[in-house]
Amino acid sequence: MNEEELTTVIPGVAVGDWVDQGVDWLNSTFREIFRAIGDVLGTLINGLIDVMLLVPPDVMIVALALLGLLLRSWQFAVGSALTLALIVAMGMWIPAMQTLALVVIATAAAVLIAVPIGILAARNNLVSNLVRPVLDFMQTMPAFVYLIPAILFFSIGYVPGVLSTIVFALPPGVRLTELGIRQVDAETVEAGQAFGATPRQILRGIQLPLAVPTIMAGINQVIMLALSMAVIAGMVGADGLGKKVVESIATLNIGLGAEAGLSVVVLAIYLDRLTAAVGGSGSDKSLRSLIRRNTTARRQPSTTAS
């Protein structure tokens, strides 16, 4: 059965046409602004990719593994080194770095937008009530749909990929920032007020620091969403693992698809574990907590209070 054949008294509404017209209008009105945004983003991401590819893969792998050691554990560092080496071995290093750069830029931008909105929403119920349905919309809209206007505004390449990734990855950043701040112990916030702290002093000295674990959990989700979207962004011509996947689908090349897919998994696990370690109190096997333990041990008083 066809949609037109349905028996209904509800008249048709041309939502699609309106969106079409709206996008056209936006495109003609803000052409210059879009171009400027596109140029900045394009320059940023191409620059980052150039830098990351300037470093030999071996050096890069060692650096990423060391970062893993610093923030998590030596086991994680060794695992990362091996799996990242696998990417090189499969010949997927360049697209992997392109995808990583896209994820980094998109995450940075998403966090820069999401955290302030989350803070506003936490402090103001009106903002919170306005923002929530928008976030629901952004999160449930099929990711592919973002690609269409992005192409219209920015043509194909990295830029529409990054922008649609930002939009897609933003919501958990906002939500968890708001949640993190709202769930800070009310008495602790009262303590700030009771000692005469300004709202700003309370935000910076109490709410944000205590919300960090939750905000980091949000950023972790942002990164994961960004990675999944970055793969989809391959469809609009953003170079990287996503493009390899798209290629493999077009040519039914199972081998290529498996290699690209595996590389995505490696990146995903690395980024996930790394950001989880930043957010939590940190596994105590990390170099960071080892250093911290040593310094606090030295600060302990020798006397014990009664």
Partner 1 sequence: MPALEADGVFKIFGRRPERGVRALREGRTREELRSRGLTPAVIDATFSVDPGEIFVVMGLSGSGKSTLIRTVNRLLDPTAGTVVIDGTDISSLDAVGLRRVRREKISMVFQHFALLPHRTVGENAAYGLQVQGMNSSDRRARAEQALDMVGLKGWGASMPSELSGGMRQRVGLARALAAGTDIMLMDEAFSALDPLIRREMQDQLIDLQQRLDKTILFITHDLNEAMRLGDRIAMMRDGRIEQIGTAEQILNNPVNNYVAEFVQDVDRTRVLTAANVMEQPVAVLGSTSGPQAAHKLMREHQLAWLLVVNRDRTVHGLVWSHDVAAAVREGTDVLPLHRAELPYTSPDTTLSDLFTQAASSPAPLVVRDEDQRLVGVIPDVTLLAAMGNGQSNGNGQTLENVPVGIPAGVDHGTEVR
User: How far apart are the C-alpha atoms of 192 and 153, rounded to whole Å?
Assistant: 47
Is residue 188 close enough to count as binding partner 1 by CB under 8 A?
A: yes
Q: By CB under 8 A, name the one of 96, 121, 206, 264 that touches partner 1.
A: 206
Q: Which stretch binds partner 1 (CB under 8 A): 111-119, 154-162, 229-237, 292-300?
A: 292-300
Is residue 205 close enough to count as binding partner 1 by CB under 8 A?
A: yes
Is residue 124 close enough to count as binding partner 1 by CB under 8 A?
A: no
Q: By CB under 8 A, name the one of 27, 75, 129, 201 that touches partner 1.
A: 201
Q: Which stretch binds partner 1 (CB under 8 A): 72-80, 152-160, 204-212, 231-239?
A: 204-212
Residue 22 Cα distances to 4, 152, 240, angstroms: 25, 12, 31
**Cα 298 from chain centroid?**
38
**CB of residue 207 vs partner 1: minimum separation in angstroms?**
11
Q: What SS3 state is found at 26? A: helix
Q: Which of 69, 65, 64 is nearest to 289 (CA)?
A: 69
Choice between 8 and 306, CB closer to partner 1: 306
Choice between 47 and 280, CB closer to partner 1: 280
Is residue 56 close enough to count as binding partner 1 by CB under 8 A?
A: no
Q: Are 61 and 247 in contact (CB under 8 A)?
A: no
Q: Are 39 and 28 in contact (CB under 8 A)?
A: no
Q: Which stretch binds partner 1 (CB under 8 A): 71-79, 143-151, 194-202, 247-255?
A: 194-202
Q: Which of 165, 167, 189, 173 is nearest to 118 (CA)?
A: 173
**Cα 193 from chain centroid?**
34
**CB of residue 271 vs partner 1: minimum separation in angstroms?**
25
Q: By CB under 8 A, name the one of 2, 140, 294, 302 that touches partner 1.
A: 302
User: How far apart are the C-alpha atoms of 214 and 204, rounded to whole Å?
Assistant: 15
Is residue 305 close enough to count as binding partner 1 by CB under 8 A?
A: yes
**CB of residue 202 vs partner 1: minimum separation in angstroms?**
9
Choice between 82 and 191, CB closer to partner 1: 191
Number of Cβ atoms within 10 Å of the Cβ of 148 = 14
User: How far apart are the C-alpha atoms of 83 and 264, rounded to whole Å?
Assistant: 11
Is residue 133 close enough to count as binding partner 1 by CB under 8 A?
A: no
Q: Are 191 and 128 in contact (CB under 8 A)?
A: no
Tell me which residues touch partner 1 (CB under 8 A). 185, 187-188, 190-198, 201, 205-206, 209-210, 296, 299-303, 305-306
